[in-house]
Amino acid sequence: MSSSDPTVQPVPASVVEQVDAADVTLSNPKRAVISLGSSLGNRLETLQGAVDALEDTPGVRVKAVSPVYETEPWGVDPGTQPNYFNAVVLIKTTLPPSSLLERGHAIEEAYRRVRDERWGPRTLDVDIVAYQDVVLDDPELTLPHPRAHERAFVLVPWQDVDPEAEVPGRGPVARLVEQVGRGGVAARPDLELRLPE
């Protein structure tokens, strides 16, 4: 986390390492980055429900959860939609990308996600941002996420939980944050998502 924003502290590496050391339930897991967003209903409760649902998924363990940010909607005129709460979750998983995508869609559907408007308001957005170092161009799933490198609402919380992270093919997250800036992305230190026990 940049020293220019003292209100939000990154997750200490020691915390992630402790969780990793305690995890003996997965065999040869892959590391994945999940972006969560909600602009309708009880946004914080929805994001926490998504974190818990990921942890409850066989073959998935949540390793770190970023601070919560309030962000302006992407791709629409300012003020035409409610703001989002956004966060990034680091997981380890034995699921292949396609199964992880299916699980993300199932979690969205559990929160009554509607897909009738591109970039429209939504109860919950669950996006796979990156999966290990996999580069995939498939009609169903592109990895890394094709717009992650230009979205501050993904990059800023991702940098919080993994300051050394890189977007495959795009470079270090820290450098990408510098390029896109932090406009429209406001820290919410009064809100917190819990790491599942």
Annotated active-site positions, please? 113, 122, 125, 127
Q: How does 169-183 read in b/e, with b if 16+ C-beta sit within 10 Å?
A: ebeebbebbeebebe
**Residue among 132, 103, 145, 158 nearest 30 (CA):** 132
Distance CA 37, CA 88 (A): 9
Distance CA 13, CA 116 (A): 40
Distance CA 163, CA 120 (A): 30
Tokens representing residue 71 in the block:
């962000």
Count Cβ atoms within 10 A of the Cβ of residue 5 and give its class: 0-12 exposed, 13-18 middle, 19 or more buried.
middle
Distance CA 125, CA 104 (A): 8
